[in-house]
Amino acid sequence: MAESAGYNKEFARQARAANAKQAQEAKERAEKLEARRVGLLEFQRRAMPEWAVAIVDEVCQRRDMCPGALASRTRKHKVAAVRNEAIYLIKARKPSISGPRLGRWFDRDNTSILHSLARHSEEAGLPKLVGYDLDNVRDRYRRKMAGRNA
């Protein structure tokens, strides 16, 4: 009988732990969904059309990234790579979209958008959508930095 009481206590403890874990996971899922919703709303606030927001959402879901991170000013490599992919896919879908318009949507200037497009096409081995020359930019930067160190 004593073993039965100990077993029941252990079972109850494990059940409470499992319930707490499920509650925590549900809370994390809800927070993640809210962050996704807020991030997508930021793009809509910037007057991005629904088809472009859908591309951003699809890229973010596939790459496990919050859309709010793409809308932010962060330059972290992982976020920048996902942002570059989203910019490239939007431009590939509608080539007539201007760099400044993409820049408004992603809170970047035109040169940053051109750099994003060129960088993603280079890294992914995709066709170039713009004539931005990354090698020339890199050479200019190296010469500039060499001049500072001399």
What does the alpha-carbon distance between residue 92 and residue 100 come to, in Å, rounded to a whole number? 16
Contact between 59 and 89 (Cβ < 8 Å): yes
Whether this model's pTM surpasses 0.85: no
Task: Write the DSSP symbol of residue 4.
Answer: H
Write the pLDDT tens digit of every residue in 85-116: 999 999 999 999 999 999 999 999 999 999 99
Residue holding tokens 């899922």? 29
Residue 8's pLDDT band (boundaries 50, 70, 90)?
A: confident
Q: Print the SS3 string covering 68-100.
A: HHHHCCCCCHHHHHHHHHHHHHHHHHCCCCCHH
Domains of the chain, earliest start first: 2-149 (1.10.1750.10)
